[in-house]
Structure 1
Amino acid sequence: MATNVAVPRLSDSTPAGAERRGEGRGAPDRRARPPAFAAIDLGTNNCRMLIGVPSGGGFHVLDSFSRVVRLGEGLYRTGMLSDAAMDRAIEALSICADRQRRWQVSATRAIATEACRQAENGHAFIARARTETGLPIETISPREEICLAMESCASLITQAERRALLFDIGGGSTEIAWVRVPAAHGGSDRVTPQLIGYHTIPVGVVTLSERCAGWCETEAGFAGVVDEVKALLRPFEETHRISQEIRMGGVRLVGTSGTVTTIAGIALNLDRYRRGAIDGTVLPHDVVAAGLESIRAMGRARLTEHPCIGADRVDFVLPGCAIFAAIEEMWPAADLAVADRGLREGMLMRLIRNARSRPRRCQA
């Protein structure tokens, strides 16, 4: 049976489906609430934002936004961000900028990831985005990216007995973190997981969907992609001997990506995607394997119609499943902790922690 752990969740102040539609409620009087913070993540495929206020040991979400912008569209072929893709991203970032001004946030962190790291014109695009939106957007390193994911998933990582293998299957790259759980953690999410090592591979769902379009729909093509990804992961395995650690026990896989949450939704037979039923769920290996096989057996038409997938994500599902299958074959842990959270949540938690650590000025 799946086990739920206590984790921060999207609050009721965000209407159902609002993040997908890009909607939000009007901002109340700032004097009636704690200071708000904004976190914006511009990825290879999506632009996402969370605005939240401190609440207990976490945060309460005031507003959220997500839009498919396909910033990395064509990047694999040309090495450049296209004009159309940059325009879509700027439009989405402008909405984020308007929303964070409306909420009168105290601090904003805005980041870009693999598409801007890879593109020859990535720096020029970031400069343009800063000028046109006023956002302090910056391109972060793979290490910073995995550290933010670790921060948001700390409560899941510390549920492991000894070690955790955290992975994030993105649009343009996949990040892996090998993490030590302090011995005297007692299941507490207040203990800081310790990064042993990290690895990034330039393979994500967008790059695979463009480079291997249709391959993953066949048995031979899917197996070929899995083998290619495993070859990219093998140096990390040879360095850290993770498979040996898994055989010793006490190691948990922790996955944070749309691929992982989709597999979980299918494995749990959800009639529609519900974050509360997915985030923090721990699935046994056989349940995960059954979900993966169900997705592969559906065919494109059924994948498009499935409420946990949809037409805007159907191109990326099987490439993502191939990356996941490579990770799972390389490191076959007993179970998988599923995280519907990532860089935005990690940024918000850091912003809030930094604000709390600053000395307060005396009032005149």
Structure 2
Amino acid sequence: MADTFPPDRNTRAGHTRGDKSGKVADFRYKRPAQPERRNGKGPLADASNGGPGKRGWDAPANGDQRYHQAYAALDLGTNNCRLLIARPSGEHFTVIDAFSRVVRLGEGLAQSGRLSDEAMERAMGALHICAEKLRRRNVRLARSVATEACRRAVNGAEFIDRVRRETGLVLDIISAEEEARLAVLGCHILLEEGEGPALIFDIGGGSTELVLVEPEGRVPRILDWQSVPWGVVSLTDTVGRVEGPRERRTAVYAEMRRVVSESFAPFAARIAGTARHAATKRLLGTSGTVTTLASLHLELPHYDRRAVDGLILPASAMRTVSARLAELSHDDRSKLPCIGSDRAELVVAGCAILESIMDVWPADRLGVADRGIREGILRSLIATDIAGEESRRALIERRPVQ
């Protein structure tokens, strides 16, 4: 459930400056333009996140101040802690503050079944910053969720209680099904134009969600889905790091591909007929893996969300980049732009998962989304709150005068 109010909601909103401990962004989501073909070497669609409902999020003529309130979405994943704070803006929303930090909450979880003390301390440091941002921005409504690491850990619920005591944040450990639904809600608008089902996927730190959708109306209909307990952290911790001599790196990567493919097999069997008969196969991915690989394909000197979010590129290009990364040593990977030491250890597991997904749904092109669960939460929060307020106002207006 949503946090009814952020911590210390009576605190006055303050001016927020860029924080060295996280990334602060101020940008507007816009409806995507029609793709402009650039030989797979440039962004083919603008960033977008349209709102649900017949009226969208258009502000009413009476100037309801609720449309100027801030809403927040916090996603504590197995590898990252991410926060977005936004205000409604027509049918879209404008992000006024954001934070992202690698916390590696699920580090060692595959072996111990527990969240380690060190991992919890890293996460707590990031969550304290998020709580302070919520106070300073005077957020009206917030929803904070935790995913696979807290779902699997025997001390996950205990950690959630600690977070509430020390920060005031109420983390909701969501199911894999809810995680998949929110990811689709957050990024589906970036799907290529076309007919028939499409596959949307989210490669996380501790799990990967595959969702077969039928785009219709503002929100796609989910036809089938699967979540497997393999993300970049859990797969690396279980199979091993891709390091050492080249022969060993090749063997570890092959084992990653085998493990993931076996987990995807039931889903692949269920949708095999759909895949065979689909005239065109649309594929859209949201994760650090796909945005990182897209950056490498574009040869960006540093990550640029504007160039990556909404990009549509040849699926073969992603396989080429994946194969290249799997062959490199850890040191060579860490020297590549947009990877660095933080991603060098985990990115190869993401490549193995991505290649297995492309085996399941062999599309010619792949869409890239730098958005997902948090955007899905924001869309749900804003639309539900505004719709509820309009319903309450309608009831009041119909009430007979006493």
The two structures have a TM-score, normalised by structure 1, of: 0.87
Equivalence for 1:236: 267
Residue 157 (structure 1) shift: 3.1
Tell me which residue corresponds to 2:196: 162
1:69 Cα offset (Å) = 1.1
The letter for the 1-side match of 2:250 is: E
- Output one character per residue of 1:43-84: Cα deviation in whole Å (capped at 9) or x when no partner: 011111000111122211111101111111111111111122
Give the structure 1 partner of residue 381 of structure 2.
Answer: 351
CA contact (8 A) 2:192 2:367 kept: no
Deviation string 1:201-233 (CA, Å, 9 cap, x unpaired) is: 111111122222234762222122112211110
Q: Does residue 308 of structure 1 match 2:375?
A: no
Aligned pairs (5 A) from 1:27-38: 34-38=68-72
Question: What residue is the counterpart of 1:24 in the other structure?
Answer: none
- What value does the CA root-mean-square deviation take over the aligned residues? 2.0
- The code of the aligned residue for 1:163 comes to P
What is the distance in 1 between the residues matched to 2:276 and 2:341? 37
**Secondary structure in 2 matching 1:260:** helix
Change over 3 Å in CA distance of 1:84–1:221 after alignment to 2: closer
Q: Which amino acid aligns with 1:180?
A: E
For structure 1, the residue ranges without an aligned partner over 5 or more in a row are 10-30, 183-189
- Matched position secondary structure for 1:329: helix
Distance apart, 1:5 and its partner CA = 2.0
What's the secondary structure of 1:359's corresponding residue? helix
CA displacement 1:171-224 (0-9 Å, x = unmatched): 111111011123xxxxxxx62210011101111111122222234762222122
Corresponding position of 1:322: 352
Distance 1:294 1:111 in 2: 35
Alpha-carbon deviations, 1:75-110, whole Å to 9, x = none?
111111112211221221111011011000110000
Aligned residues: 334
The more displaced of 57-66 and 246-255 is: 246-255
Measured in 1, the distance between the counterparts of 2:342 and 2:352 equals: 19
Distance 1:92 1:39 in 2: 14
**Residue 6 of structure 1: which of 34, 46, 56 is its match?**
46
Map of 1:144 onto structure 2: 178
The answer (yes or no) to whether the contact 1:71–1:86 under 8 Å persists in 2 is yes
Report if the CA contact (8 A) 1:246-1:332 is conserved: no
Q: Which moves more between the two structures, 143-152 or 296-305?
A: 296-305
- In the TM superposition, what are the counterparts of 1:276-315 in structure 2 within 5 Å? 276-315=306-345
**Partner Cα separation in structure 1 for residue 96 and residue 241 of structure 2:** 40
Q: Residue 182 of structure 2 aligns to a residue in which SS?
A: helix
SS in 2 for 1:311: helix
Q: Secondary structure at the match of 2:74?
A: strand
**CA displacement 1:248-277 (0-9 Å, x = unmatched):** 322211111111111111111112111111
Partner of 1:111: 145
User: After alignment, is 288-297 or 170-179 more displaced?
Assistant: 288-297
- Map 1:1-364 onto structure 2 (within 5 A): 1-2=39-40, 4-8=44-48, 34-157=68-191, 159-182=193-216, 191-215=218-242, 218-241=249-272, 244-246=274-276, 248-360=278-390
* Letter paired with 1:274: D
- Deviation (angstroms), 1:330: 2.7
- Alpha carbons 1:53, 1:60 under 8 Å: kept: yes
Amino acid at match of 2:168: G
CA contact (8 A) 2:313 2:366 kept: yes
Deviates more, 1:127-136 or 1:208-217: 208-217
Aligned position for 2:58: none
2:299 and 2:279 map into 1 onto residues whose CA distance is 29
Distance 2:256 2:134 in 1: 41
C-alpha displacement at 1:144, in angstroms? 0.5
Alpha-carbon separation, structure 1, partners of 2:152 and 2:241: 24
Give 3-state SS (helix, strand or coil) of 1:358's partner. Answer: helix
Using the aligned pairs only, state the percent identity. Answer: 43
One-letter amino acid of the structure 2 residue matched with residue 207 of structure 1 = S
Q: 1:246 to 1:95 in 2, by over 3 A?
A: farther
Q: Secondary structure at the match of 1:324?
A: helix
Inter-partner Cα distance in structure 2 for 1:230 and 1:297 = 20
Which SS does the other structure have where 2:300 is aligned? coil
Distance in 1 between residues matched to 2:154 and 2:187, nearest whole Å: 32
Contact kept, 8 Å, 1:205 with 1:319, in 2: the verdict is yes
Q: Is the 8 A contact 1:48 1:67 kept in 2?
A: yes
Displacement of 1:246 in angstroms is 4.9
Q: Distance in 2 between matches of 1:114 and 1:223?
A: 24
Partner Cα separation in structure 2 for residue 126 and residue 159 of structure 1 = 41
Could you tell me which amino acid in structure 2 is paired with residue 6 of structure 1? D
